[in-house]
A = this chain, B = another copy of it.
Amino acid sequence: MPKKIHKRDAQVSKALIITNAIQLFSQKGYASASMDDLAKMCGLNKAMVFYYFKNKKGLYEAVMTQVLEEIQQKILKENEKYTKPIEELESFIRTYAKFACSHPYLPALLLKELSDSGAVFPEMLFTSMRQLFALFSDILKRGEEKGCFHDTMPMILYFMVLGTLNLIVTTKPLREEAAQKEDILLDTCAECDIDQIADYLIEKMKQMLKEKK
């Protein structure tokens, strides 16, 4: 619990709350995240949370918006560097993989939210999530028009990519622990780094997309 070293500054306090809330929500989930704990983490009074974000749900929405905005901007920016659909797809997967690995709160928050079917955060979930999917879907469609992709079902392929990468990241501690006590026969991919995994995924996606029905 860090003591407050910062001056009175709304911007700073607000950012401090969001930063800690990202950690808390991603680790404990919405219901188990305590606003008392959050205030202690921030070194602020609990009332500040409600002063800036009205209520718990408001804070959660701010957290999700920021996190989704972050990854979306990153992917869009990377995407601009490429023109060929294959390269764009590769960039999408690699960027998401790297970001998810270095910011593991993203997969945790996303999987929790999706496993609830957006129970906590119903409206804004697809407003924000849709845009990422739209980009992915668009890449596939353009690839199909150009004749380099075949037999695409964007929604399924999207879940394939996100599902795989999110599970790989969130289960990492579990798989590492398993690797120690398990027999060697069962490879839990505990030592694979995220680049290897992204490479493998990309190659497999290429194989899936190049074949005509």
Contact = CB atoms under 8 A, between A and B. Distances in A.
A130 B183 CA distance: 11
A115 B126 contact: no
A178 B129 CA distance: 11
A75 to B, nearest CB: 17
A208 interface: yes
Contact of A167 (B29, B154, B159, B189): B159
A155 to B, nearest CB: 4
Interface stretch (A13-21, A63-71, A77-85, A106-114): A106-114
Interface string A117-152: 111000001100010011001000000000000000
Given A130-B178, A130-B186, A115 B117 contact: no
A180 to B, nearest CB: 12
B114 A187 contact: no
Interface residues of A, number: 53
A103 to B, nearest CB: 15
B164 A160 contact: yes
A188 interface: yes
Interface stretch (A3-11, A86-94, A199-207): A199-207
A34 to B, nearest CB: 10
25 contacts: A27-B119, A29-B31, A29-B116, A31-B32, A108-B116, A111-B112, A111-B115, A114-B170, A115-B115, A115-B166, A126-B174, A133-B186, A134-B186, A137-B186, A153-B200, A154-B187, A155-B189, A156-B168, A160-B204, A162-B167, A163-B163, A164-B164, A204-B208, A207-B208, A207-B211
Given A117-B171, A117-B174, A156-B200, 17 more contacts: A28-B31, A31-B32, A108-B115, A112-B112, A114-B167, A114-B171, A130-B182, A133-B186, A134-B186, A154-B187, A156-B192, A156-B201, A160-B164, A160-B204, A163-B166, A207-B207, A207-B208
A156 B164 CA distance: 7
